[in-house]
Structure 1
């Protein structure tokens, strides 16, 4: 378990001593202690070469003044969390964050400053910073998400104009951004192969999953507007003997809208370290994404994770899934409920001979590791800084 952040820590807390390494200041729309995915995978590895400061979106509280909490969450990684008074307008929010950030940066002994953006919204308070290099990691089409800020598209245009390099988290994003920037690199999400390969061996059954009958078809990840809830309900209704396990936090949608059937099991969020144990208890892994604007550009991290765990995957026809995995035999596609169920039937048959799945996926995922991805990133940074 990661330590809890202590509120009210000094805004002047410097980074731990280092051998004069560059500071990689990362602006993220996702919290470090949220679902472990691309930002955490990349920053925890890049911290081997850079001091990483991970600047999160603010929390608004009943408090008289703004404060910047700091927490060391991994070797070389410091999370910076602005806590702001409730009721500030947009301009005041930006100014408060700018002051907190500038105050924190002032005592740092910087050899060089690298600016990494996961979200263009951070431009509102950081555009004045003069980094040796500006990096935009376009991991999602954030403007297509529910409740996207009105200025997001405008600020992305500004960020693309400033960025020295752009990394795209999927083929669709890469194709879109190559029309708007001259140095865009396709870097799909990777996989911690050794971590998820644990699911290929017998694991102690998590207590909350142990009592669920088989066969089990599972999903882990955020449960939000990108999931096709109608498809999930049809799957559960038409195959009542199948047990569908969903692991992850419910975000941006009303939990009351989730289908509730006896064979649908919502287990809530679980730590990243525990996911292989859950995966080991499934016959088939699911990616029941809706086909809408919010999924048009996604390149799901979980696809290679499922495959590394030796599980066949059933997905809706997400463009980047088709581009990356279709035809390898371990990822089966279904667009309609009937097609999805037929694909799941075939996947369950495939799961009876797991060695077939392993043969199909090992050659595919061997070059998809996060370590390989970070090596490519380091090359780009060091060649341009």
Structure 2
């Protein structure tokens, strides 16, 4: 079977849902081939933002992965030359590039897996069996009116024309499921990575640390709350943020001035070390309709690490019954983190190995792959029969 995946994320060392599921599928089926379409690079935007502009790397083999044949995974990174408001045919050009790449790989009738909503153009342009995997509700994100309308139009096509729709959270199951049949496939965790010993990372500050792991972005992260937390911890601990940095320069400066430590992105196989050596794990997220649509991967990772957690009342964390979980409104969050750090060494403030193993095994990515195997088999059969 051939599979074309239009992803909202690049394939790099920071693995997210798409990478875990695709790699798991490739290891299960030696005959599977995947074309993984990454977001386009934007040299003009990068240059205007004082970052290093670069062209997309085009079609190329994916990285060498254990248990996966070198010709099984292909990556496509396009280049976005002009803003959408200038290039009105930007998305059409993107779709043609994806189709050319599939033809180059002799993928005559692949299954289409859409995560990036503009994959709707491929649904309209082909007769490929199709799956829409909804991981974020971008229709309620804080975007321009034009961007929101574009996403709503694309999602309408996906919800009405895709053969299967998968959602990652109960909130998405309720909202998208009101419009059509959907299948809930939650996010997960690499359970085995948390059941081995990890040395304390050398770049973790000495002393007590409250650690956040995830992409630093204003759609999710409450930057003001982070700054207040970092200031309140001064003298007793440090707030450490680990993950890709998508903050505005002013936001980043505010955090650093408050004493927060920003370590940047770390490969996924290094993340467990930061989590298990944290005194407290934190989730200083904004609570919005957008964050309410999410199924945070960090929920499963934090529980697998077995450390005390302090979170704002966001989806996932507010719904868990866990003695190590403290859910606090933003007005009480800072005090809750300071208290958790002060009592982090108290007996019973860490989950034992058996408890962690039980929790994480139930949410292991292999179980999510099992679900996707069944869904893709239905799609493949539908394609073969048409």
Instruction: Give TM-score scaled by structure 2 length.
Output: 0.82
8 Å CA contact 2:59, 2:74 repeated in 1:
no
More helix, by proportion: 2
Corresponding residue for residue 272 of structure 1: 268
1:335 paired to 2:329 = yes
How far apart, in 2, do the equivalents of 1:171 and 1:299 lie? Answer: 8
- The equivalent position to 2:41 in structure 1, one of 50, 59, 82, is 59
Using the TM superposition, give the Cα deviation of residue 139 of structure 1 relative to its aligned residue in structure 2, in angstroms. 0.7
The 1:380–1:348 alpha-carbon spacing in structure 2 relative to 1, beyond 3 Å, is: farther
* Structural mapping, 1:237-256, within 5 Å: 237-240=231-234, 241-251=236-246, 253-256=248-251
The 1:67–1:311 alpha-carbon spacing in structure 2 relative to 1, beyond 3 Å, is: closer
Local SS of the residue matching 1:53: strand
Corresponding residue for residue 13 of structure 1: none
- The equivalent position to 2:358 in structure 1, one of 356, 363, 382, is 363
* Structural mapping, 1:184-333, within 5 Å: 184-198=182-196, 201-203=197-199, 205-209=200-204, 212-225=205-218, 226-240=220-234, 241-251=236-246, 253-256=248-251, 258-261=254-257, 263-323=259-319, 325=320, 327-333=321-327
How far apart, in 1, do the equivalents of 2:56 and 2:335 lie? Answer: 52
Local SS of the residue matching 2:125: coil
- The equivalent position to 2:15 in structure 1, one of 36, 40, 43, is 36
8 Å CA contact 1:351, 1:357 repeated in 2:
no
1:100-157 Cα distance to aligned partner (Å, 9 max, x none): 22322224444741100112122235521211x2111101112333446230011101
Corresponding residue for residue 130 of structure 1: 127
How far apart, in 2, do the equivalents of 1:319 and 1:61 lie? Answer: 35
Local SS of the residue matching 2:60: strand
The 1:45–1:287 alpha-carbon spacing in structure 2 relative to 1, beyond 3 Å, is: same
Structure 2 gap segments, 5+ residues each: 45-52, 382-386
Corresponding residue for residue 143 of structure 1: 139
Using the TM superposition, give the Cα deviation of residue 278 of structure 1 relative to its aligned residue in structure 2, in angstroms. 2.0
Corresponding residue for residue 72 of structure 1: 62
Structure 1 gap segments, 5+ residues each: 1-21
Instruction: Give TM-score scaled by structure 1 length.
Output: 0.83
8 Å CA contact 2:13, 2:267 repeated in 1:
no
Local SS of the residue matching 1:318: coil
Query: Which 10-residue stretch deviates more, 65-74 or 373-382?
Result: 65-74
1:162-190 Cα distance to aligned partner (Å, 9 max, x none): 122211111111111110112x1122110
The 1:356–1:30 alpha-carbon spacing in structure 2 relative to 1, beyond 3 Å, is: closer
Aligned length: 354
Higher relative contact order (CA 8 A, sep 6+): 2
